[in-house]
Amino acid sequence: MVSITIDGIKASVPDGSTILQAARSVGVAIPTLCYHPDQSIKANCRICVCEVEGNRLLQAACSQPVAEGMVIKTRSPKVLEARKTILELILANHPQDCLNCIRNGNCELQDLAMEYCIRENPFEFKVRGYKKDFSTPSLFRDQDKCIMCRRCIEACSVIQSVHALGVENRGHHAMVVPTLGMDLIDSPCIMCGQCIHACPVGAIGEVEYIEDFLKAVADPDKIVVTQIAPSVRVAIAEEIGMSTGEMPMETFVTGLRQIGFDYVLHTNFTADLTIVEEGNELLKRLSTGGTLPMFTSCSPGWVNFCETFYPDLLDNLSTCKSPQQMFGALAKTYWAEKMGVDPSKVYSVSIMPCVAKKFEAQRPEMNASGYQDVDVVLTTREIGRLFRMSGLDFTKLPPSNFDSWMGAYSGAAVIFGASGGVMEAALRTVYEVATGKTLEDVNFTATRGITGIKDAEVDLDGTKVKVAIANGLANARKLMNQVRAGESPYHFIEIMACPGGCIGGGGQPITKANAKRVERIEAIYVEDENLPVRKSHDNPEVKALYDEFLHEPLGHKSHELLHTHYHDNQKKYL
Amino acid sequence: MSYKEIIAKYADKPGGIIEAYHAIQREMSYLPIEAVGETAEVFKVPVSQAYGVATFYSMFSVKARGKNIIRLCESAPCHVAGAEEVLAALEKELGIKVGESTADGKFALELSECVGQCQATPVLTVNGKPYFEVSPAKLTGILAEYK
Ligand code: SF4
Ligand code: SF4
Ligand code: SF4
Ligand code: FES
Ligand code: FES
């Protein structure tokens, strides 16, 4: 421990702490921009400068370690003046666009401009004038707003190992660009949206489809149906000022009806269905010498990654569509038929934690129903905006239930939202299908948690099945390289593109630290515990679906509607 | 030599990327995007990184440009010594502006920072070869060497 003084407060802090860490530990706030709690120290923005007695130059608090006896001033006039100048310099070429900006109200730069009372900027105002990149259906880039903190680059390269972003030029002309200065769609970007979370400002954001949705609601001919992904409920609360997990499902459902949905259904229903199909696919591969290990296929960012970086392993990917797309295919066939409505009038909206889902919905092969199966994908953040736009008070809304048919679900579906959840859900089903016995304890805790790579072994009445789970694509890459080298000991591998799984998806409320992801994971398992049905194959509506429509897992109808194929999408430049 | 052969020559050298880029530019005066991609592959770095290097240094260009690269120093000492008049004369003589190349593909005109020859300002370089105390009158002679 070292003894230091910060703004007159005497403190004893661990050796090697930075000034920033030391200050925060005694409740002194220091502003930051390039600093990110889960990333390496970049120290390129200088907004965190402080005075250290005996030093003529101001020190960057995020990178400067404390030393014995150090006397630090974080709010002296000299410090405040310097920070203000730094802000003014940043703002001198930053578009004055807050009112139209996707991060209005949730922007680290805007907050600082407010805190430091930026009024008239003495520096000449000149926006750099880049063109916005709207080349992907998932996320856009607005380089003029970039403050060059490089947090997105680290997310993309270190967490995802995609390396779609880098710096072009240097000094004043330096800019973050996709590979070779191309549009994002031509780079290896897999559309996970993790760079959106990393970005402190509105330089990267999701492509919004709010207008399309409102237009459909206004159209009396359209039957607007929604599905909600498992991880959305735990996080939506954060968008409307409640704490994580606090929004009761029944209130959420009422809220969705209020903003215009005619039918509120659940992706969890098709998550259960996915498990039945995928579990049977695994058993079939195991018994018939099919390609192993089998990879899960419900994370579209991961599917993009596999198509881009491991096209040689596409046969390992489960042919099951993601729950979103299974739902889409069924909504305009089975559901429309059951409800006696014209499928051409069904407008299918999915509410997802994910921006890659926007791309997935627009894949040309996702039209098994004869229409585009899912018309529009809205992220958790967009739903948050719609809620705020409608002025709903969630403390006063009465509860309501999901509509029947494709609204019922088990706890196994809920845990799809967390890394390891698909695996656990599959094991609950596979065990019972393979052994014919009842699984007494449904909790496979080895598969849980935010750890990058987890593995476990399950005994199916003598047959040992080895499974592995990865979240974050840099972790997935390690497992993939093993498979490519023919050295993988596993039979079944679950991969989620985003850290922590869907709860940390690119469309979730802006997540400034991994600690938030851990909180959401906890909320997911609480929900699972509290449900009466916890195994996918016990979902009564799924049973009915097989009885009335699909007849058997992996059967003819399933193949037509619920399974897909993949494409080699190796980019010329990776 | 093709860019592939050039890159292969530097593959095992530490810091070989920059040397390979220089060598490619000697051959083709700029770094075609394909060459940057190939460099990334050979040196086993992400393309975004190889591209970062290619655009970081002002002497590299990833855009096609004239064969002979004229770079006029624009740092203060050269500026004071009349670099501006030299520039105007160059632009007139070549019929292009800074950052452009002549239609016949012979010359590209660029600016550089101090090249460390401030004893004999203004300074310009053609393909790295320095010319000292340049004046508008000397330009025709210099350019003739490359025609
Ligand atoms: S990025 Fe932030 S500061 Fe910039 S326009 Fe958007 S909200 Fe305003
Ligand atoms: S969306 Fe994902 S892959 Fe694409 S640039 Fe952002 S972090 Fe990289
Ligand atoms: S795009 Fe955002 S995260 Fe990336 S460098 Fe710019 S400001 Fe930082
Ligand atoms: S936060 Fe310390 S330099 Fe950016
Ligand atoms: S200033 Fe031009 S060479 Fe030094």
Q: Are A191 and A252 within one domain?
A: no
**Of all residues in chain A, what percent are helix, strand and coil, respectively (each to 5)?**
40, 15, 45
Main-chain dihedrals φ then ψ at residue A52, nearest 5 degrees:
-120, 125
Cβ distance A168 to B40 less than 8 Å, yes or no, reads no
Q: Give the pTM.
A: 0.90
Ligand 5 closest atom vs CA B117: 3
In tens, the pLDDT along A132-146 reads: 999 999 999 999 999
Q: Are A253 and A175 within one domain?
A: no
Q: How many CB atoms lie within 10 A of CB B3?
A: 20
Residue B60: closest C-alpha in chain A: A169
Say if residue A507's pLDDT is above 90: yes
pLDDT in tens, chain B (147 residues): 889 999 998 988 877 899 999 999 988 889 999 999 999 999 999 999 999 999 998 889 998 899 999 999 988 889 989 999 999 999 999 999 998 999 998 999 999 988 888 888 999 999 889 999 999 999 999 999 998
Which of B30, B39, B47, B60 to mutate to probe the A interface, most A CBs <10 Å? B47
Residue A340 inside a domain? The answer is yes
Residue A352 inside a domain? The answer is yes
Taking CA atoms only, the protein residue closest to ligand 4 atom 1 is A32
Cβ(A403)–Cβ(A376) below 8 Å: no
Residue A109 inside a domain? The answer is no
In tens, the pLDDT along A369-388 reads: 999 999 999 999 999 999 99
Cα(A13)–Cα(A10) distance, integer angstroms: 10
Cα(B143)–Cα(B147) distance, integer angstroms: 7
Q: Are A18 and A80 within one domain?
A: yes
Identify which has the larger pLDDT, B122 or A431: B122
In tens, the pLDDT along A294-324 reads: 999 999 999 999 999 999 999 999 999 999 9
> Per CATH, is B68-144 categorized as 3.40.30.10?
yes
- Provide the domain limits for residue A529: 226-570
Q: Are A487 and A527 within one domain?
A: yes
Q: How many CB atoms lie within 10 A of CB A487?
A: 8
Which of B18, B34, B38, B48 to mutate to probe the A interface, most A CBs <10 Å? B48
Q: What number is the average pLDDT over the span A88-113?
A: 96
pLDDT of residue A436: 86
pLDDT of residue A231: 92
Say if residue A357's pLDDT is above 90: yes
ipTM of model: 0.74
What percent of chain A shows pLDDT beyond 70? 100
Q: Are A456 and A552 within one domain?
A: yes
Domain ranges of chain B: 3-56, 68-144
Nearest to A447 by CA among A472, A464, A427: A427
Average pLDDT score, chain A: 94
Nearest to B124 by CA among B73, B76, B74, B69: B73
In tens, the pLDDT along A253-282 reads: 999 999 999 999 999 889 989 998 999 999
Write the CATH number for A87. 3.10.20.740
Residue A398 inside a domain? The answer is yes
Write the CATH number for A346. 3.40.950.10
Residue A216 inside a domain? The answer is no
Q: Are A416 and A484 within one domain?
A: yes
Nearest to A504 by CA among A570, A389, A419: A419
pLDDT of residue A406: 83
Residue A362: Cβ-neighbour burial (10 angstroms; 0-12, 13-18, 19+): middle
Cβ distance B56 to A164 less than 8 Å, yes or no, reads no
Q: Are A239 and A304 within one domain?
A: yes
Residue A113 inside a domain? The answer is no
Q: How far is A167 from chain B (nearest CA, A)?
A: 5
- When divided into structural domains, chain A yields a total of 3
Nearest to A406 by CA among A312, A267, A523: A267
Q: Are A292 and A419 within one domain?
A: yes
A233-to-A103, A236, A300, A503 alpha-carbon distances in Å: 22, 5, 20, 10
